[in-house]
Amino acid sequence: MALAPLIHESPKTKKSRRPSASRADTDQTPRYSAAPSDEDPESSYPHPSGKTERQLARAGRIAERQVDRAIRSLGRLTQGGRSSDQRNFRAVFGEPEPARIDEVLQTFHKLKARLADIDSQESLDLRVAPEDEAECQSSLAYTSPGDKRIVFCDSFFELDPKQRGLSLIHEFAHVEGLRSDLYSDSRVFDLLATEPAVDGEREYALRNAESFDRFAAFASGVARPTWIDDDAQFVDRRNAWSGERDPGLESLVRRALAYAEQWVLWGREDLGRIAHGKAPTADQKLLLATIARITPDVSTPWSTIVVDIDSKLGQLESAVGGTMKVELLPSCKLGLSPRYHDAADVPQATISRLRVGPEFADQAPVRRVWSLLSAMLTSFGIDGLDTLDWLKFLRHAADQHVGELRSGPSDLDPTPATRPACPTAPDDFEDL
């Protein structure tokens, strides 16, 4: 089986990933990232020179102009702004309140100052990766948060100039210390603008590198936020919906789908590293061995074992990401019942439909994610206890990343729902 690259960050390095086209056409196939190295091979990589140096300098100037457009848009917003300024800001950062505008503005000013240093590189260490650099299987460029070194892959230089500029903004945001790396083609990104700040932390969108890259893209007219309509209302166009008209329930299902997708993405990210030779941790071994029904000291390479698991997760990702139809039901006691479609008339086995009853609203937010994935796994013919093993693996993967999102009143907050929609609500949050 050909292994297309997985397009997610490793815990050690943050990287721009390839444009989202590579995601669309690999939804059903394993998308493996490179295994992060324990050494520091990049210190020997060459600095840009000749053509790559000129291309980077040019990309820097384009990025500066894109940042200028963002700064001008933010300046207008302090005076109210145009409707497009407001829409772009709402899509990425939330309500355009003075303190929030100011914080975004300050970050863009830092980015601008840093971009001006591309030529002299006094505060930067730019490198060009060799052709066989493993990280470059899934990245355009990569860096570690707060590190001044950015490594550029061949694929970066193949981008069109505007995208190179945006990719620079993304990497430079990491250099400025922004750690979060939720990408704009995962649906959780669309929700970031409404994720509240938690425990004195800055709001999630303000810590996410891609948020700045995207705002600059919108402000400079390179792209438009598709999840916000002209009245700046949130519009999720993924999945086809039918049945009861219940905006409250629909919103809960959409949020659960978004987080479910993210759990799957993070699970696949872990599998990707293992597929590329990284040894699984003891926890991962146990979890994967249970899923694959083998003993943890099996002689088969883990890189082989994870391929089938990743293939199933690819189907889950595809389903939650849009192919699954969702039907809202009016009566209680129907719960979740996805249909698994494996007929000859569809090219690939898919989870084709999810039916959701009002008791979905009775569950704690994190429980909704859990039960959604559980129902989908069950529809693959994976039964009760086995489903739990898969969920534990996904939860384990998500735990590495999700702390920030869980620690506040977000969808992953284990606070029980307060409004039972059905007479006999299920138990409160359990020990997930």
Q: Select 9 or 359, whichever has its Cβ closest to Zn ion.
A: 9
Single-letter residue type at 141: A
Residue 269, interface with Zn ion (CB under 5 A)? no
Per-residue burial over 93-109, b if 16 or more Cβ lie within 10 Å, else e, is bbebeeebbeebbebbe
Q: Tell me which stretch binds Zn ion (CB under 5 A): 48-56, 175-183, 362-370, 392-400.
A: 175-183
Q: Select 153 or 421, whichever has its Cβ closest to Zn ion.
A: 153
Number of helices (H), then strands (E), belonging to the chain: the values are 14, 10
Q: Select 169 or 232, whichever has its Cβ closest to Zn ion.
A: 169
Q: Select 64 or 181, whichever has its Cβ closest to Zn ion.
A: 181
Least distance (Å) between residue 208 CB and Zn ion: 9
Q: Select 168 or 232, whichever has its Cβ closest to Zn ion.
A: 168
Q: Tell me which stretch binds Zn ion (CB under 5 A): 35-43, 180-188, 242-250, 381-389.
A: 180-188
- Terminal Cα-to-Cα distance of the chain (whole angstroms): 34
Q: Tell me which stretch binds Zn ion (CB under 5 A): 6-14, 115-123, 347-355, 386-394.
A: 6-14
Q: Please work out the total of residues on this chain that contact Zn ion, with binding judged by CB under 5 A.
A: 3
Pattern of binders to Zn ion over 76-115, x per CB under 5 A? ----------------------------------------
Among 7, 150, 153, 209, binds Zn ion (CB under 5 A): 209
Radius of gyration of the chain (CA): 22
Phi, psi of 40 (to 5 degrees): -130, 65
Q: Tell me which stretch binds Zn ion (CB under 5 A): 133-141, 173-181, 219-227, 354-362.
A: 173-181
In eight-state DSSP terms, residue 180 is B
Q: Tell me which stretch binds Zn ion (CB under 5 A): 10-18, 148-156, 236-244, 304-312.
A: 10-18
∠42-43-44 over CA atoms, to 5°? 85
Q: Select 14 or 23, whichever has its Cβ closest to Zn ion.
A: 14
Burial class (CB in 10 A: 0-12, 13-18, 19+), 243: middle
Least distance (Å) between residue 172 CB and Zn ion: 11
Among 8, 14, 87, 401, binds Zn ion (CB under 5 A): 14
405: helix, strand or coil: helix
Each as own residue / partner, the long-range contacts of residues 131-137 (CB below 8 Å, 24 or more positions apart, any chain) are: 133/34, 134/34, 134/35, 134/37, 134/276, 135/10, 135/13, 135/15, 135/33, 135/34, 135/36, 136/34, 137/5, 137/32, 137/33, 137/34, 137/276
Residue 214, interface with Zn ion (CB under 5 A)? no
Residue 181, interface with Zn ion (CB under 5 A)? yes
Residue 190, interface with Zn ion (CB under 5 A)? no
Q: Select 167 or 363, whichever has its Cβ closest to Zn ion.
A: 167
Instruction: Give 110-168 as a DSSP string.
Output: HHHHHHTTTTT-SS-EEEE--TT-GGGGTEEEEE-TT-SEEEE-HHHHHS-HHHHHHHH
Q: Select 32 or 142, whichever has its Cβ closest to Zn ion.
A: 142
Q: CA 134, CA 326: separation in Å to the nearest integer?
A: 39
Least distance (Å) between residue 11 CB and Zn ion: 12
Binding site for Zn ion (CB under 5 A): 14, 181, 209
